[in-house]
Amino acid sequence: MRPIKLTVSAFGPYAGKTEFDFDKLGTGGLYLITGDTGAGKTTIFDAITYALYGDPSGNNREVSMFRSKYASDETPTFVKLIFAYKGKNYTIKRNPEYERAAQRGSGLTKQTAAVELILPDGKPITKTREVDKEINNIIGINRDQFCQIAMIAQGDFLKLLIAPTKDRIEIFRHIFKTKLYSDLQNKLKQEASSLDNNCLQIRQSITQYIAGINCDESSLHCVQVSKATNNELPIDECISLLEKLLAEDS
């Protein structure tokens, strides 16, 4: 996912409408956001993450905190993100629930939360659950994984490096779409385990039968019977031995 343009309005410390044109920074897809403390760096992270997933980039902030306390009652609060994925452009616009100026009369009224995702073919999706599902399908990772690998705040990169192996495997599996191979590997392991159990049961049955054979020391099969009894004979030779012994008895 490469951000193309981010627009925020009455969001965090940004009282008015502010645009961030990432296209001017090139198409490399790797950006370093720097600035003084309180300059609004984290707000940019929050705006992108909120546009995509409906939540901030950090766990110590709430969506209800996004409405700028510096904005006038008439200024709408929203985030709009245009981004590219696999050569196709998507546009998503989202706003939290907040108090705004009433269109009729005086006072304030509640603006309900809303979201709209415009697909590359121009089709709009406006239901929150459908948008969230579509974003996860497009990008292939959830909000927590996105914050770990796509938008890394100061000090958070270390969390990815020291994350348990299981967590890192899950993250990279989503990124590189390797779940199909993981599922195949698990299925083959299950089938191999099942075959091993069947083989063990067959061997135990054969050993049980052989253990009950009284074989004269002068018999040509005495040595093989002894090996079979001690599990020293391959399964196919054990079966062959049983067939010979049964044939002689009959």
Q: In the prediction, which pLDDT does 29 show?
A: 65
pLDDT at 115 exceeding the cut of 80: yes
**Chain CA centroid to CA 39, Å:** 32
Residues 167-185: tens digit of each pLDDT: 777 767 766 667 788 888 8
CA dihedral 201, 207, 210, 211 (to 10 degrees): -130
Question: What one-letter code names the amino acid at 148?
Answer: Q
- CA angle 114–116–118, rounded 5-degree value: 175
Q: In the prediction, which pLDDT does 102 show?
A: 82
Write the DSSP assignment of the chain as a string of letters.
-EEEEEEEEEETTEEEEEEEEGGGG-SS-------STTSSHHHHHHHHHHHHHSS-SSTT--GGG-B-TTS-TTSPPEEEEEEEETTEEEEEEEE--EEEE-SSSSSEEEEPPEEEEE-TTS-EE--HHHHHHHHHHHH-S-HHHHHHHTS--TTTHHHHHTS-HHHHHHHHHHHTT-HHHHHHHHHHHHHHHHHHHHHHHHHHHHHHHHHT----TTSTTHHHHHHHHTT-S-HHHHHHHHHHHHHHH-
**Residue holding tokens 């200024």?**
75
Which is nearest to 143 in space by CA: 84, 63, 217, 36? 63
Pairing of β 78-85 and β 88-95: antiparallel
For residue 190, what pLDDT band results from cuts at 50, 70 and 90?
very high
Question: What one-letter code names the amino acid at 165?
Answer: T
pLDDT at 51 exceeding the cut of 70: yes
Count the alpha carbons within 13 Å of 193 in the hemisphere toward its beta carbon.
Answer: 6
pTM of the complete model: 0.60
Q: What percent of the chain has pLDDT over 70?
A: 89
Residues 63-95: tens digit of each pLDDT: 878 888 888 888 999 999 999 998 899 999 999
Identify the residue with better confidence: 111 or 220.
111
For residue 56, what pLDDT band results from cuts at 50, 70 and 90?
confident
pLDDT at 166 exceeding the cut of 90: no
Residues 191-238: tens digit of each pLDDT: 999 999 998 888 788 777 777 777 777 777 788 878 877 778 787 887
Identify the residue with better confidence: 159 or 31.
31
- The mean predicted confidence, pLDDT, of the chain is 83
